[in-house]
C-alpha cells in the first residue's frame, strides 16, 4: 500500500466478491457477531433542552452519571439543525461516490497531513487492514484548514464547515457540563485543552461480502477529550459494556457522545473512556462522521488536583498531549488503549 499507486478499499471491493486475505482477522480476533447484544436502551439518551436553564444541574448530573457508568451517551435537542445534519451526510456520501481519480487527489498515507484521504488505520505499520476508507479533516481554527479540503463535490466545504462550527459549539457545551459534573470549575477542561484542536473523520465502510471475518475498525478507545458521532441509518457501532459487545442503533437526528482518554485522566478514573469498534454490513455501505475535540499538542495532562487526596492518589503522571498522540499512532488500534503507558 505504501508503494506504487494507492488502492482504496472502495475501489477494490467493486471488483471483488470475497474478503482479500490482508483484511481477514485471526479466528480468535474476529467480531463473533452472533454474540453481540442489542442496545435496548442501555446507552443513556440525554435531553439537552434546558441545559442553559433552570434544569442545568439535573442535566449535568445525568451527563456525569453516564460518563461514570457507560462512557457513552446519546443527546437530543442538541441545537444542531436537521438540515445541517442531512447536508453533511449527503455531501459525504457524494464524495465517496466520486470517481477514483477525483478522490485520489486527496490521498496521502502521511499521518502528519491535516487533510488526507486514506484507508484502514495506518497502512505503513499494520499487518491486517480494516474495512474502511476515510477522509481526515482538521477543522479548528476553521480558516486555517478549509482551503485544504476537497473542492468536489462543489458544496463540500460550505456544508462541512457549517457542521464543524455546530459540532464545536456542542462539544464546548458538553465539556462545560462534564467539568461541572466533576465539581470542577466550568471552564476547567476547556483551559486544560490549551489552544484546543478539532478534527473529524468521514468514514466510509463499503458493503462487505463476509462481515464476520473483518472489522471496519477494531476495538479502541479515543485518545482525545470528547467525540461527537454522526452516522447514517446503517448500524455498525458496538460498545463494550460489562465485557459484552453491545450494538448501538442510531436514533435519527441524535448524536452519540463518548468520553476520550484525556477526560478519563483528568477525572482520575472516575469517568471511563470505553472500548468501541465498528463492524460492517454485507449489503449496505455505511457513513459515520466522528468529530474529535482535542487538546492542542502543547497541552499537559494529569488528574485534576482537586480530585486527588489520600483515598484517591493520582493514577497518572503528567504528560504532553503530543506524547500521547505519538504513542497512540505508533502502537495502532491493536493495543486497544494507551492509558496504561501513562499510569503512575
pLDDT at 309: 96
- DSSP code, position 33: G
- For 220, the grid coordinates are 479502541
Contact 277, 296 (CB under 8 A): no
Q: Which residues of the chain have pLDDT under 50?
A: 1-3
| The 3-state secondary structure of 9-20, one letter per residue | HHHHHHHCCCCC
Q: Which domains does the chain have, with CATH numbers?
A: 9-342 (2.60.120.330)
Give, to the nearest 10 degrees, the angle between helix 82-96 and helix 156-181: 120
pTM over 0.75: yes
12: exposed, middle or buried (Cβ count in 10 Å: 0-12, 13-18, 19+): middle
d(CA 89, CA 65): 30
pLDDT at 11: 81
pLDDT at 123: 67
Grid-cell match 448500524, residue found:
235
Amino acid at each position: 500500500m505504501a508503494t506504487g499507486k494507492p488502492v482504496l478499499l472502495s475501489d477494490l471491493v467493486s471488483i471483488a466478491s470475497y474478503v482479500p486475505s490482508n483484511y481477514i482477522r485471526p479466528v480468535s480476533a474476529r467480531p463473533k457477531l452472533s454474540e453481540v447484544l442489542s442496545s435496548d436502551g442501555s446507552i443513556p439518551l440525554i435531553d439537552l433542552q434546558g441545559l442553559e436553564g433552570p434544569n442545568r444541574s439535573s442535566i449535568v448530573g445525568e451527563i456525569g452519571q453516564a460518563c461514570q457508568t457507560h462512557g457513552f451517551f446519546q443527546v437530543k435537542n442538541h441545537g444542531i439543525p436537521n438540515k445541517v445534519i442531512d447536508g453533511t451526510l449527503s455531501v459525504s456520501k457524494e464524495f465517496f461516490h466520486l470517481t477514483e481519480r477525483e478522490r485520489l487527489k486527496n490521498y496521502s498515507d502521511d499521518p502528519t497531513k491535516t487533510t488526507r484521504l486514506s484507508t484502514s488505520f495506518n497502512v505503513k505499520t499494520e499487518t491486517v487492514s480494516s474495512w474502511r476508507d476515510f477522509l481526515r479533516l482538521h477543522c479548528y481554527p476553521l480558516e486555517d484548514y478549509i482551503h485544504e479540503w476537497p473542492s468536489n463535490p462543489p458544496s463540500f466545504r460550505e456544508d462541512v464547515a457549517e457542521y464543524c462550527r455546530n459540532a464545536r459549539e456542542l462539544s464546548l457545551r458538553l465539556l462545560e457540563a462534564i467539568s461541572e459534573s466533576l465539581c470542577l470549575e466550568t471552564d476547567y477542561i476547556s483551559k486544560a485543552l490549551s489552544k484546543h484542536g478539532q478534527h473529524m473523520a468521514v468514514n466510509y465502510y463499503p458493503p462487505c461480502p463476509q462481515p464476520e471475518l473483518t472489522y471496519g475498525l477494531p476495538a479502541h478507545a479515543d485518545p482525545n477529550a470528547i467525540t461527537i458521532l454522526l452516522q447514517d441509518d446503517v448500524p455498525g457501532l458496538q460498545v463494550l459494556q460489562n465485557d459484552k459487545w453491545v450494538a448501538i442503533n442510531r436514533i435519527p437526528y441524535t448524536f452519540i457522545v463518548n468520553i476520550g482518554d484525556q477526560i478519563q485522566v483528568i477525572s482520575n478514573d472516575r469517568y471511563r473512556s470505553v472500548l468501541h469498534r465498528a463492524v460492517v454490513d454485507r449489503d449496505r455501505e455505511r457513513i459515520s462522521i466522528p468529530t474529535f475535540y482535542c487538546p492542542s499538542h502543547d497541552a499537559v495532562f494529569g488528574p485534576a488536583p482537586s480530585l486527588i487526596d489520600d483515598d484517591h492518589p493520582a493514577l497518572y503522571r503528567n504528560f504532553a498531549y503530543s506524547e500521547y498522540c505519538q504513542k497512540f499512532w505508533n502502537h495502532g488500534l491493536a493495543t486497544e488503549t494507551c492509558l496504561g503507558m501513562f499510569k503512575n
